[in-house]
Amino acid sequence: MQLSGAIGATVALALLLASCGGGGSTTQPPAEDGVLRIVSYDRQDYDADAYEADAGTVRFELSQIGVQEHTLLVEGLEDEMRLVAVDGGTDAGSLELEPGRYTLYCDIAGHRSSGMEARLTVN
Ligand SMILES: [Cu+2]
């Protein structure tokens, strides 16, 4: 009785964590039109912790909800693309990417260190 109660509580906790948006281990694929749409929020986070795309020309679109300005860069490719989203607007760009793992981040002071970073897996 006590044991099954403990298991039930563990399952409930796992379900709660899994359903909790934003902080999980979700991987967001590109939209149907092939564009990888990324939303940034005032809580200094993107809408997913991980994204994926197909190798070749990867098209990015950064949008913003809230009042803070946010950017999107790919680590190591900062000279090739820097998207800036401000005042609810969007910014778009593209990169030629080989298969591999990349890191996306916001370069506004303090944002990356407070968690504004995400993985990008290119297949
Ligand atoms: Cu930011």
Q: Return residues with CB closer than 5 A to ligand 1 (ion).
A: 70, 106, 108, 111, 116
Measured distance CA(100)–CA(67) in Å, rounded: 33
15 in a structural domain: no
CA of 115 to the centre of ligand 1 (A): 9
- pLDDT reported for residue 23: 46
Beta-sheet pairing, 50-53 with 83-85? unpaired
- Which pLDDT tens digit goes with each residue over 71-88? 999 999 999 999 999 988
- pLDDT reported for residue 17: 43
CA of 28 to the centre of ligand 1 (A): 19
- In the sheet where 90-97 sits, what is the strand order? 45-46, 35-41, 56-65, 90-97
Q: Residue 103 belongs to what domain range?
A: 24-122
Coil, helix or strand at residue 6: helix
- pLDDT reported for residue 32: 87
78 in a structural domain: yes
Measured distance CA(76)–CA(123) in Å, rounded: 18
CA of 43 to the centre of ligand 1 (A): 9
12 in a structural domain: no
User: CATH code at 44?
Assistant: 2.60.40.420
CA of 111 to the centre of ligand 1 (A): 5
- pLDDT reported for residue 53: 96
- Which pLDDT tens digit goes with each residue over 52-75? 999 999 999 999 999 999 999 999
- Which pLDDT tens digit goes with each residue over 104-119? 999 999 999 999 999 9
Coil, helix or strand at residue 80: coil
Coil, helix or strand at residue 46: strand
28 in a structural domain: yes
Over range 89-94, report the average pLDDT.
97
